[in-house]
Amino acid sequence: MAAILRKLFRRKKQPPLVCAVSLDDHGHPIGDDPNHKHTAACFIDFEPLALAELFQSQSCPSCAVGVPGILEAAQGPNLLLLTYNISLFDHTGWKDTFASGASDQRHRAYATRWQRKTLFAPQVVVNGVADGSGAAAEGGVAAIVQQARAAGQVGRPWHIYLDANDTEVRIDSDAETMTIAKHDIVVIVYQAGDEKVKIGKGPNKGKKLDHRNRVTSVTKIGEWTGGDLTLALPASMKPGENAVVVVQEGGAGGAIVAVAKV
């Protein structure tokens, strides 16, 4: 498998072209061309899935202002945004109804890894390597994603492929076993879709805050140090919940090197 991966990863990229299909006068596709042969022009290269982790609080005045714009910008087939509610601003008169100790710990883990002495919200962290408020003045979410993708290509001479289904997670890599620093394999379960919460007290009293793909649990299921690996997934999720598997260097706060939806 490793040899096959090396050949695939070294293959020269083709330009993002598409197949052309003729339409009739009513906009319907004309019958299939029996002589058509698929070439590289028939396929589009997509960027791998990026994970944007949004840390927000119902009691944070800046979140009420900034989150709508972040959610509008964080869309697309190659970007998954997850929301973590934190208790950082609970002292201002309203306790966040979704905040959890696990979300607080993950929020602080990034600050600790980056040797920062302050926390802020809203904060968008992409692939564990780039962050910002997501504000337009700072280039917005797109700039953070671009920065994260560029950073992910530096200092990593090996490649990794992550796949997941309803029952198991599979990692294929051209990195030799036990030659890579420890990476945690983590399952993040989230409530898919958007939720609005009306704040009853505090600085955001009377306002409604959006929550997209709200995280309900973060569970480590194993470790990866190179090579190929297959792990069983935990028990099935509750109705309305989705999950994503990430491979994160050194645990919480580290670089996320692979992401796959379950």
β-bridge mates for residue 258, sequence order: 247
Identify which of 128, 129, 144, 131 has the alpha carbon closest to the alpha carbon of residue 73. Answer: 144
CA-to-CA distance for 66 and 72, rounded, in angstroms? 10
Residues in contact with 31: Cβ distance below 8 Å, sequence separation at least 6, in sequence order: none
* Three-state DSSP class for residue 167: coil
CA angle 108, 109, 110 (to 5 degrees): 90
pLDDT reported for residue 179: 82
Q: Are 238 and 191 in contact (CB under 8 A)?
A: no
pLDDT reported for residue 15: 41
Q: What is the pLDDT of residues 80-106, one digit of tens each?
A: 999 999 999 999 999 999 999 999 999
Query: Any idea of the CA torsion for 197, 199, 200, 206, to the nearest 10 degrees?
Result: -110
- Higher-scoring residue by pLDDT: 3, 165: 165
Q: What is the pLDDT of residues 156-198, one digit of tens each?
A: 889 999 999 889 999 999 988 888 899 999 999 999 999 999 9
β-bridge mates for residue 218, sequence order: 188
Half-sphere exposure in the Cβ direction for 177 (13 Å, CA)? 4
Q: Percent of the chain, pLDDT > 90?
A: 67
pLDDT reported for residue 42: 54
CA-to-CA distance for 168 and 111, rounded, in angstroms? 32
Q: What are phi and psi of 190, to 5 degrees?
A: -140, 155
Q: Assign residue 174 a region: left if phi > 0, alpha if psi is -120 to 50, beta otherwise?
A: alpha
Asked if the model's pLDDT at residue 28 lies above 70, the reply is no
Residues in contact with 20: Cβ distance below 8 Å, sequence separation at least 6, in sequence order: none
